[in-house]
Amino acid sequence: MWITDLYFSWWLRPGTKHSLTVGGLNRTYVVHVPKGSDQKTTRMPVVLALHGATMNGPMMAWFSGLNRKADEAGFIVVYPNGTGRFSSYFWNGGNCCGSAMQNNVDDVAFLNALLDDLMRTYPVDTQRIYATGMSNGAIMAYRLASELSDRIAAIAPVSGSVGTDTCQPKRPVSVLHFHGTMDEYIPYLGGKGAKSITGTSFYSVDHSIRAWVKLNGCDENPKIDLLSKGGDEMTVTRKTYGAGKDGAEVVLVEIEGGGHTWPGMRSPAKSLGKSALSISANDLMWEFFKKHTLK
């Protein structure tokens, strides 16, 4: 969606590349194991990090900076690749995006098979598997919460909304959603973004949050606190809808004036808008993930 220079794919090398065949397609993913971890005896949490449209796994590693958090906190981070051409990939999140949606690629089946494949090589804590994603990847994370809730403990979408007409999880899945109010790709209020490359009419952030508040049985009135208050930085508000079934919660981190960016990481292009640097999406999502495991 933003950076098409394949230089990043070659230079970054965020981890070990794996491949498998799902639905007649050769699929790939890259694994970063935290430095100094004991892969033989220590079962580790896993975070699936799903790239945005026209990106790929190595670009997602660079865009999000998640490898550093994985090394610090001790979790495995996995960067799957969607489908497409010339390292410009998409996910079928429902109403978006690109060839993955048009060809009805079963990305839920791929990511389910990826987890099976991952467990054959790495010491995975199956009670602590999480998903995050940027933009189209965030939309895909929402779909995983709906259709793979028996494996995904919690999700943290960034700059992406629900992409399916209905959500039918088998169990409550906690959600931490980050979104800028000035996002011109996937608008906070929904509809077609001024800079959209797909022409998709997206669901609003409010629709996404309300849908999962209802699904998880959370309080409809959130607890509100400020994470950052104006000044030289954007105002960042956290709205927590708690008291859900089995301890589930839905949290919205709203970035006033924020663009289509990853909080805590500098925006790589002016066209994406502003990024909140007073908070870290990686820190906040890891604290959130630690609270939620499969019951």
Q: Determine the distance from the C-alpha atom of residue 81 to the mean position of all C-alpha atoms in its chain, rounded to a whole number.
A: 13
pLDDT at 37 (0 to 100): 73
Q: What are phi and psi of 215, to 5 degrees?
A: -60, -40
CA distance 190 to 211: 14
CB of 158 within 8 A of CB of 293? no
1 part of a folded domain? no
pLDDT at 12 (0 to 100): 46
Q: Cα torsion for 249, 291, 165, 196, to the nearest 10°?
A: 110
| Residue 70 belongs to domain with CATH number | 3.40.50.1820
pLDDT at 86 (0 to 100): 86
pLDDT at 15 (0 to 100): 76
Q: Which residue has the tokens 């608008």?
A: 187
pLDDT at 231 (0 to 100): 62
162 part of a folded domain? yes
Domain count, the chain: 1
181 part of a folded domain? yes
121 part of a folded domain? yes
pLDDT at 2 (0 to 100): 39
107 part of a folded domain? yes
Domain membership of residue 229 as a residue range: 7-291
pLDDT at 39 (0 to 100): 62
CB of 236 within 8 A of CB of 256? yes
CB of 238 within 8 A of CB of 176? no
91 part of a folded domain? yes
pLDDT at 8 (0 to 100): 42
Report CA torsion sign: 77, 262, 7, 102: positive
CA distance 271 to 197: 13
21 part of a folded domain? yes
Q: Where are the alpha helices (DSSP H) in 173-291?
A: 205-216, 281-291
* Per-residue model confidence as pLDDT tens for the chain (295 residues): 334 334 344 344 567 899 999 999 999 999 999 987 766 668 999 999 999 999 999 999 999 999 999 999 999 999 999 999 988 999 999 999 999 999 999 999 999 999 999 999 999 999 999 999 999 999 999 999 999 999 999 999 999 999 999 999 999 999 999 999 999 999 999 999 999 888 899 999 999 999 999 999 999 999 999 998 766 678 999 999 999 999 999 999 999 999 999 999 999 999 999 999 999 999 999 999 999 999 7
CA atoms within 13 A on the CB side of 68: 10
pLDDT at 232 (0 to 100): 61
Tokens standing for 291? 């609270």
CA–CA distance from 21 to each of 29, 111, 117, 134, 292 (Å)? 12, 11, 11, 25, 31
2 part of a folded domain? no
pLDDT at 4 (0 to 100): 39
